[in-house]
Structure formats: C-alpha cells, structure tokens
Amino acid sequence: MKKNSKLIGIDGSALLIIDVQEKLFPLMNRREEVLRNIVKLIRFCRKCEIPIIVTEQYPKGLGRTVREIMSELGDVKPIEKTSFSCFGSQEFKNTLRMLRVKTLIIVGIEAHVCVMQTALEAPRKIRVCVVADAVSSRAIGNIHLALQRMRDSGIIISSTEMAMYELLRDSKSRMFREVRELLKA
C-alpha cells in the first residue's frame, strides 16, 4: 500500500464483528443480507489471513453470537463487553495492540449504537472502514443516520464487495485467485 493511499490494504487490517447476538439479531432490518455479507467477509478474511475480532454485548441478556457466524470463526473467542463502544473494553484494546491493527473493518449491529460509537472512538492512528451492507439496526432510519454521521466524521463507508476488491488491489495476486469464488457469490 502506498504511504498516503486512501485505500485500505490487507497489512495491518482486522475484521471486527460487533454484537451479532441471538436475542438481538432477529429484530434487525435486512438481517439475511447482513448475515450473508458478514459470513462472506469472514471467509475472505480467513483466506487472506486477516485477523478477526468478535464482541458480544452483555451476553447474559442478549445471548451469544449467532450460530451461522460462530461456525465460520473456528477458534476465535468473543470478547464480552458492557460498554456500547468496543473501546470501553480493555480486552478489546489489548487485542488491537497485540495484533498491531492499523485498519479496522467494522460489521455488525446496531449501526447507530455500538457500531457508530466504536467507529467514532477509534484512535486517530487507526483507520476505520464500516461496511454498510454488513451493518444493521432495528429501524432503517437509524442505519442511514449512523452511516451519514460516521461518513461526516471521516469514517470510510464501504460495501462488502468494494472492501474485498480494495483489500486485494490486483487481479494477478495469489490471493485474488484464492478468493475469486467469494467475489462471484
């Protein structure tokens, strides 16, 4: 990646899946599309060796991460939290530091609460990309407002396909050949 490039790249990136939990997810708008895109991004990140971080908001009350996502994650253990922003969790901050994350690619729910607060609280040294077709809220209006507020604050707003091609950069790369089927799906 060029030093001053506005594009996101594989090196230093991590996928953050925020609070896609059993009791909350069924209430989400466009949930089938969001789930499909999150699963696609998980598969993509695993093939590209991009680290994946998962959080759960108060799992005692909201349940665990949905089965469809957990079955794709292998040995990734969710980070439990009570703060809406993931940056309220010391374990989360320690994980970012350990992984040396420079770009955080965010998906999950709810767009106007935990996703937005996490994106806005990220330190300046971390570039944030929110994948619009892989985030949701109960009300569609809250999704649009959250995406607009994040965009206005300098957060990169992307789509699943846009983010995958941007991370790959070149059709001649070995990674492109390995994930080609995911790009077609």
Confidence grade of residue 10 (pLDDT, cut at 50, 70, 90):
very high
The answer to the question of residue 177 being in a domain is no
For Cα atoms 170, 174, 175, give the angle at the middle one, nearest 5 degrees: 75
For residue 185, CA distances in Å to 44, 79, 154, 178 come to 12, 30, 30, 14
The rounded distance, in Å, linking the Cα atoms of 57 and 88 is 11
Identify whether 7 is part of a domain: no
CA dist., res. 173 & res. 39, Å (int): 23
Examine the pLDDT at 182 and tell me if it is beyond 80. no
Residue labelled with tokens 């089938």? 32
108, 143 contact by CB (below 8 A): no
Q: List active site positions.
A: 19, 81, 114
Q: Is residue 33 part of a domain?
A: yes
What is the distance, to the nearest Å, from the Cα of residue 85 to the centroid of all Cα atoms in its chain? 13
Phi and psi at residue 100, in whole multiples of 5°?
55, 50
Peptide bond between residue 110 and the one before it cis (omega within 30 degrees of 0): yes
Does a structural domain hold residue 64? yes
What dihedral angle (degrees, nearest 10) is formed by the CA atoms of 178, 180, 181, 183? 130
Dist. CA 28–CA 5, nearest whole Å: 34
Give mean pLDDT, residues 79-98: 98
E strands, the chain, are 13-18, 52-57, 79-81, 103-109, 127-136, 156-158
Q: Which residue has the tokens 């070995």?
A: 174
In a domain, 162, yes or no: yes
pLDDT tens sequence across 130-171 = 999 999 999 999 999 999 999 999 999 999 999 998 998 877
- Residue 178's pLDDT band (boundaries 50, 70, 90)? confident
Domain of residue 113, CATH code: 3.40.50.850
| Residue 112 in this model has a pLDDT that exceeds 70 | yes
pLDDT at residue 171 in the model: 76
The answer to whether residue 35 sits within a structural domain is: yes
Name the nearest CA neighbour of 44 among 152, 148, 184: 184
- Domain membership of residue 31 (yes or no) is yes
**Partners of residue 108 on adjacent β-strands:** 18, 135
Give the count of domains, the chain.
Answer: 1
How confident is the model over 64-77, as pLDDT tens digits? 999 999 999 989 99
Please report which confidence band the pLDDT of residue 4 belongs to, taking 50, 70 and 90 as the band edges.
low
pLDDT, residue 72, reads 96
Domain boundaries, position 31: 13-168
* pLDDT one-digit tens code per residue, 11-36: 999 999 999 999 999 999 999 999 99
Is 66 domain-assigned? yes
